[in-house]
Amino acid sequence: MSKAPITMMIAASIALAGCGGGGGGSNDQGVSFRALGVFQETLEQLAPAADTLPTPEVAIGDTGRAIILSENQVFPTDYNNDGDLDGGFLGFQNLLESQRINVTGVHVEIVVPGALINPVATDFVPVAITLGQAFVPEGEEAQNVAYAQTLFVSSDVLTFLNQNPSLLPTPPYNINVVMIATAVSDSGETFESNEFTYSITVLPEQR
């Protein structure tokens, strides 16, 4: 995604806000397909030791992080500089009793309180995971809850924010990453999840 598409998306967002938004698919807001939020590693270790990732049995919420725009290219990022990304696991749950669901991606809106316009940018982040049906037949092992580490704030979005400080408040300020996930069931029906939000604090540049 280049700067130009992001700029066009800003214009589209303004128009969308003016007409009250849009919709599509089977948007039952989490009744059939639920977004559980953002999670971190159950145990973070320095590479080459393997991290313990969230599971349906043990999942620890990722409640927010801080960044410096000029120093971060994507989010989540590698906070401990061990070569792998830290946090940013999106959790999903299939509540359909007799069908699997394939998660296709996440619609992202970057909302900054105090910014000149909101949303400041929009994006769509692909995700490819399959969730088993809520009622698991005997002999099958597919679970209806899964977690995927996803770059839900792309490098183009962070670059755009870094290059357009006139749109934004003076740091420190918060970025609210507002997300709605999409998925397709075995029968081909499209679902949208409930809306969920993750907060990033933008710190002043270090001098």
For 36-81, the pLDDT digits (tens) are 999 988 877 766 667 778 988 999 999 899 999 988 888 998 877 7
> In this predicted structure, what is the pLDDT of residue 198?
96
For 18-34, the pLDDT digits (tens) are 333 333 455 567 899 99
Are 153 and 159 in contact, with CB atoms under 8 Å apart? no
For 75-121, the pLDDT digits (tens) are 998 877 777 788 899 999 999 998 999 999 999 999 999 999 999 99
Closest CA to 179 of 124, 101, 113, 104: 124
Residues 6+ apart with CB under 8 A from 58: 42
As a whole number, mean pLDDT of residues 175-186 equals 96
For 137-161, the pLDDT digits (tens) are 666 667 899 999 999 999 999 999 9
**Would you tell me how many other CB atoms lie within 10 Å of the CB of residue 146?**
22
Are 92 and 77 in contact, with CB atoms under 8 Å apart? no
